[in-house]
Chain A
Amino acid sequence: MIDPRPPAATHVKRRFTWSNIGLYATVVVLSIALLFPIYLIFLIAFVPDKYTLFSGRPPLIPPTLTLANLQTGLTLSTTPFIPSMLLSLEIAFMVGGIAIGLGIPTAYGLSRLRPTVAYGLTTILFVVNMLPSITIAIPITVPFIKAGLYGSPIAIALTQELLALPITTFLLVGAFQALPRDLESQARVDGANRMRALYGNLVPLVRPALVAAFLLSWMLSWDESTFALILYNPANPTLPVEIFLAFTGRGNPDIAVAFSFIATVPVIILTIFLQKYLKGEDLAVGVRG
Chain B
Amino acid sequence: MTAKLEFERVSKRFGNRMVADDISFTVDQGEFFVILGPSGEGKSTLLRMIAGIEPVDAGTIRIDGRDVTDLAPHLRNVAMVFQNYALYPNMTVYQNIAFPLKMKFFSREEIEPKVRDVAKTLGITEILDRRVHQISGGQQQRVALARAIVRSPSIFLLDEPLSNLDARVRFGARAELKKIQRDLGQTFLFVTHDQKEAESLSDRTGVLHLGRFEQIGAFHEIYERPLSRWVGDFVGDFPMNFLPEASGDGELGFRTEWIEVGDGPYSAVVEVAERQGDVVSLLCRGPAGRRVFMTALQRPAVGETVHFRLRQSLHFAADGRLMDGGSLPSPPGPLSRGVP
Contact = CB atoms under 8 A, between A and B. Distances in A.
Task: Check A-B contact in the complex, CB < 8 A.
Answer: yes
Interface stretch (A181-189, A241-249, A264-272): A181-189
Contacts of B100: 190-191
Contacts of A196: 103
A182 B100 CA distance: 16
A185 B51 contact: yes
B99 A190 contact: yes
A192 B74 contact: yes
A185 B99 contact: no
Given A201-B88, A204-B90, A189 B78 contact: yes
A239 to B, nearest CB: 38
A188 B82 contact: no
Contacts of A185: 48, 51, 53, 73, 80, 82, 86
Contacts of B82: 182, 185-186
A25 B157 CA distance: 63
B147 to A, nearest CB: 7
A180 B144 CA distance: 15
B301 interface: no
A188 B88 contact: no
A191 B103 contact: yes
Given A189-B73, A190-B147, A183 B53 contact: no
Contacts of A183: 86, 88-89
A186 B86 contact: yes
Contacts of A187: 88, 99
A75 interface: no
Contact of A191 (B74, B83, B157): B74
Contacts of A191: 74, 99-100, 103-104, 151
Q: Which of B52, B74, B151 has the most CB of A within 10 A?
A: B74
Interface residues of A, number: 16
Contacts of A189: 51-53, 73-74, 76, 78-80, 157
Interface in B68-86: 72-74, 76, 78-80, 82-84, 86
A247 B295 CA distance: 94
Interface string B56-78: 00000000000000001110101
A13 to B, nearest CB: 34
A183 B83 CA distance: 11
A183 B88 CA distance: 7
Nearest to A207: B90
Interface string A160-189: 000000000000000000001011011111
A193 interface: yes
A132 to B, nearest CB: 41
A186 B80 contact: yes
Nearest to A197: B74
Interface in B87-104: 88-90, 99-100, 103-104
A188 B73 CA distance: 6
Interface in B142-182: 147, 151, 157
Interface in A274-288: none
Q: Which of B79, B99, B151 has the most CB of A within 10 A?
A: B99
Nearest to A192: B103
Contacts of B147: 190
Nearest to A193: B74
Contacts of A204: 90
A205 interface: yes
A129 B47 CA distance: 42
A187 B78 CA distance: 12
A182 B104 contact: no
B1 to A, nearest CB: 15
Given A189-B78, A190-B100, A193-B74, A180 B53 contact: no
Contacts of B90: 204-205
Q: Which of A188, A192, A196, A205 has the most CB of B within 10 A?
A: A188
Nearest to B53: A185
A196 B100 CA distance: 12
Contacts of A192: 74, 103
A190 B103 contact: yes
A180 B103 contact: no
A190 B104 CA distance: 9
Interface of B: 48, 51-53, 72-74, 76, 78-80, 82-84, 86, 88-90, 99-100, 103-104, 147, 151, 157
Interface of A: 180, 182-183, 185-193, 196, 201, 204-205
24 contacts: A182-B82, A182-B83, A182-B84, A183-B88, A185-B48, A185-B51, A185-B80, A187-B99, A188-B73, A188-B74, A189-B52, A189-B79, A189-B80, A190-B74, A190-B103, A190-B151, A191-B74, A191-B99, A191-B104, A191-B151, A192-B103, A201-B88, A204-B90, A205-B90
- 9 smallest CB-CB distances across A and B, nearest first, come from A191-B103, A186-B86, A182-B86, A190-B100, A188-B73, A182-B82, A189-B80, A185-B53, A191-B74
Given A185-B48, A188-B74, 19 more contacts: A180-B84, A180-B86, A182-B84, A182-B86, A185-B73, A186-B86, A188-B53, A189-B73, A189-B74, A189-B78, A189-B157, A190-B74, A190-B147, A190-B151, A191-B104, A192-B103, A201-B88, A204-B90, A205-B90
